[in-house]
Amino acid sequence: MPVELTALGHRFGSEPWLFRAMDFTFREGAVYALTGPSGSGKSTLLGILAGWIAPTEGSVVTRRDRSATWVFQNPHGVPGRSALDHVALPRLARGAAPDVADEEARHLLDRFALGHVASREFRALSGGEAQRLMLARAIASDPEILLIDEPTAQLDPTTGDTVNAVIGELSRDDTVVIVATHDTRTRDACSAVLDLGRFSPQVEE
């Protein structure tokens, strides 16, 4: 189900409005880059979409029991667990039999250019590999909404590009994918852009 923002606006207390009058529909199958200057409210909007922050005005319409999964700037894995197990576990949690979960995990690792490190422990992965693993793990959990916050912010440009190269793999028919980013190459790897700067009341004044 799409995620529809209607007349959405947010401000913290009596601070200036971050964004206002936002009408936008996020559709499944697309990968949206959420852009805008620092402080424009990208992380805040992700929090609203996850249901952690109640917007000051307007509404977010989607399925009531939507499941949102996050991927953060810093990859958080289990140091002694293999890359394969990071991706197989969410498949097991979704009800797959162990051999099926492993097969699905291997397939996902291949798509995220991680086939060669399947048996490597998380602690031994490079920064780019670890971040790609977080993306593969997130997809393995079948989220309805996938929220990704600055996936290349902690990586040098060359390593970041190994992450940008797999952004297209996030597209799924039944998932709304939103990537908050300052990285123009991440933005260009996405299939659509929502620029929060467009909804800043300060810009209009």
Residues that bind ligand ATP (CB under 6 A): 12, 18, 36, 38-44
Amino acid at 91: R
Q: Closest separation between CB of residue 153 and ligand ATP, Å?
A: 8
The answer to whether the CB of 13 falls within 8 A of the CB of 159 is: no
CB of 40 or CB of 164, closer to ligand ATP: 40
* Cβ nearer to ligand ATP, comparing 88 with 177: 177
Counting DSSP H helices and E strands in the chain, the numbers are: 7, 8
Neighbours of 13 (CB within 10 A): 5
Least CB distance to ligand ATP at residue 49 (A): 12
Helix (H, G, I), strand (E, B) or coil at 160: helix
Q: Which residues pair with 154 in a beta bridge?
A: none
1/174 Cα distance (integer angstroms): 7
User: In terms of CB distance, is 34 or 167 closer to ligand ATP?
Assistant: 34
The answer to whether the CB of 125 falls within 8 A of the CB of 81 is no
> Number of C-alpha atoms within 13 angstroms, CB side, residue 46?
22
Q: How far apart are CA 24 and CA 82, in angstroms?
A: 39
Instruction: Report, in Å, the least distance between residue 40 CB and ligand ATP.
Output: 4
Please state the closest distance from residue 43 (CB atom) to ligand ATP, in A. Answer: 3
Which of 18, 189 has the CB closer to ligand ATP? 18
Nearer to ligand ATP, 30 or 53 (CB): 53
For ligand ATP, the closer of residues 58 and 115 by Cβ is 58
Which residue type is seen at 99? D
CB of 131 to ligand ATP, least distance (A): 17
Cα distances from 153 to residues 75, 76, 150, 180, 182, in angstroms, run 11, 14, 5, 10, 8
Q: How far is the CB of 91 from ligand ATP (least distance, A)?
A: 31
